[in-house]
Structure 1
Amino acid sequence: MHVNIKRVPAMVVLLLLWSSKPAFAQYQRTVNDLDSLIQKHPKPVLMVLGTEWCSYCSMQKNIIQKLLQSDTTAANRLYYVPFNAEIKDAVQFLGQTFTYTATGKDKGVHAFARFLNRNAPISYPTLVLLDPKGNVIYRHPGLVTKDQMRIILDHLAGLI
């Protein structure tokens, strides 16, 4: 077998990029991880309720990701959990099980999103802050700007 030496470095770089997780993945958690994380290492939780189709939700996630990537101290002081309010998987949180509820053909909302939103009408994105014990301490429906998010992250740091 003949291997072109000039192509080896490029192939290695592509393989490493393909097989590695993004650097941000270390800061992003899932809902089902929260119970054990909060029990072992209590920290505030920053959640974004959204959907796959919501462009503002994507914008919100990008704002948060960029801020947490640039401020690793803030990223280490909290758990960041984006939550798709239309997932059909059951969610375990604080000893309760939450499931998806269909509201029509190919439409519905997850009971966990309703729980976090205190059964108010849900808008996407909705920012939800939890204290280190898992209690909802703040909700903000709609897009939060980068400057507003910095203030929120600073406030979360004071909860530790």
Structure 2
Amino acid sequence: MRNLICLVIFILAIPKGFSQLNLSKFEEIDSLQKVEKRKVIVFIHTNWCKYCTAMQSKTFKNQLVQNEINERFYFISFDAEEKEKIIFNKNTFVFKPNGNNSGIHELAIELGTINKQINYPILCVLNDKNEIVFQHNSYLNSKQLIKILKTIK
């Protein structure tokens, strides 16, 4: 009985409409595109970037943002300092060290370079052929992101 009461309290404590972003991986995109063609949003970030963290904790937690992304896009959250090899678009990308405990993943460079620079956070949108159709490299609040999503869908 006590467990049942705890379960009821837990369920009631969850906000109505609670959801989260449906995350995908680069390796899954080709299979997903065969099921349903969608644009792919790649959020490129690092752990040390305060604006990246703010987008993760605020912008991407917004219910309207989550709904818009989940309904119309595939979403990849990608750490630019990821050390694992990634096969995407028939190419293999790896982490490239550039000093003591630092470096950048080749895929972050491929998708996130704007005007020959990498500035975090980066929002990169790919079409269903994995071609870049949009890039943005600075913090976006939920209103700004929704406006962008509506124009690129």
TM-score, L = length of structure 1: 0.78
Residue 82 (structure 1) shift: 1.1
What is the DSSP-based 3-state SS (H/G/I as helix, E as strand, rest coil) of the residue aligned with 2:59?
helix
For the Cα contact (< 8 Å) 1:78–1:156, is it kept in 2?
no
> Which runs of 5 or more residues in structure 1 are unaligned?
none
Matched residue count = 145
Does structure 2 retain, via aligned residues, the 8 Å contact 1:31–1:83? no
Once residues 122 and 68 of structure 2 are traced to their aligned partners in structure 1, the CA distance between those partners, rounded to angstroms, is: 24
Query: Which of 128, 140, 143 is 1:144 aligned to?
Result: 140
* Pairing 1:96–2:91 present: yes
Tell me, what secondary structure is at the counterpart of 1:9?
Answer: helix
For the pair 1:80 / 2:75, whether they are aligned, the reply is yes
- Residues 22-61 of structure 1: pairs in structure 2 closer than 5 A: 23-25=19-21, 27-61=22-56
The structure that has the greater radius of gyration is 1
User: Which secondary structure does the structure 2 equivalent of 1:23 belong to?
Assistant: coil
CA distance in 1, matches of 2:60, 2:7: 32
Task: Please point out which of 2, 5, 12 is paired with 1:6.
Answer: 2
Does structure 2 retain, via aligned residues, the 8 Å contact 1:57–1:143? yes
1:107 aligns with 2:89: no
Give me the whole-angstrom Cα distance separating, in 1, the residues matched to 2:48 and 2:94. 20
Contact map agreement 2:46 2:52 (CA 8 A) in 1? yes
Cα distance change on mapping 1:32 and 1:148 into 2, 3 Å: same
Matched-pair contact (CA < 8 Å) for 1:64–1:149: no
Residues 1:100 and 1:8: Cα distance change in structure 2 (over 3 Å) = same
User: For residues 99 and 12 of structure 1, do their structure 2 counterparts lie closer, same or farther at Cα, with a shift above 3 Å needed?
Assistant: farther
Query: What CA RMSD, in Å, does the superposition of the two structures yield over aligned residues?
Result: 2.5
State the 1:123 CA deviation: 1.1
Contact 1:38-1:134 at 8 Å conserved across structures: no
Of residues 83-92 and 34-43 in structure 1, the stretch that sits farther from structure 2 once superposed is 34-43
Describe the superposition over 1:51-89 as per-residue Cα deviations: whole angstroms up to 9, x where unpaired: 1222211222331341333xx355211111111000101
